[in-house]
Amino acid sequence: GFAYIAGYLKKFGYDPIIVDAIAEGLNKTWPLKKYPGYYCQGIKYNDIIELIPDSSNVIGFSGMFSGEWPILRDLILMVRQSFPKALIVLGGEHATSLSEFCLRDCSAINVCVRGEGEQTFFNLINQYDTKGTYTGIYGTGYLDNSGNYLQPPKPIIRKGENKNTPSRIDNINEMPWPHWPNGYLEKFWKNN
């Protein structure tokens, strides 16, 4: 997922940095003091934060499984402390299914990307770069200033869909090749 989103952003002139905490610490585990009996795989929170460039103004996270949410939420809260002005975006299956819950459960998140994130995340950061806002973009969910959950409706509704159907890629041929930073895949091959 990271590689596809990075490839899509590169297609439009952005230069994303991928921080994959598991890839950076393959075969490493560490105990979670806050959750006795549970362990994380990969590098620790502080090591992740150190890999995020200081100049980052948009930081995206992905969470696939709801069981991972408490750990991801803790990381996002720590990142917010280090990057108080950054736009924090959450995507992945958990955020797609439970956008409002995630936003209410973790005040550090500004906006959730729902569904396939390539086009939506690009639209989001492009609008944020040019207009300074992240609201009104189909495929997102966010809380307004009054705390109301908003999810801009789908502009074109096809058979079998409704106004809240998450975004999906219509034409696979418009997708660029995934971008894996130099040495990224080799970390996995080296560790079998």
Q: pLDDT digit string (tens) for 110-141?
A: 999 998 899 999 999 999 999 999 999 999 99
The pLDDT value given to residue 157 = 67
Q: 87 by DSSP, 3-state: which?
A: strand
Looking at 54-68, 111-125, 164-178, which range is the least confident one?
A: 164-178
The pLDDT value given to residue 184 = 86
* Average pLDDT rounded to a whole number, residues 3-11: 94
Looking at 132-136, 141-145, 162-166, which range is the least confident one?
A: 162-166
State the amino acid at position 182 in one-letter form.
Answer: N
Greatest alpha-carbon pair distance for the chain in Å reads 50
Nearest of 97, 40, 31 to residue 72 by alpha carbon: 40
Average pLDDT, the chain: 91
The pLDDT value given to residue 167 = 65
Measure the CA–CA gap between 34 and 77, rounded to whole angstroms: 14
**What does the H/E/C string look like for 25-59?**
CCCCEEECCCCCCCEEECCCHHHHHHHCCCCCCEE
Taking the complete model, does pTM exceed 0.85, yes or no? yes
The pLDDT value given to residue 166 = 63
* Average pLDDT rounded to a whole number, residues 53-69: 95
Looking at 16-30, 113-127, 148-162, 171-185, which range is the least confident one?
A: 148-162
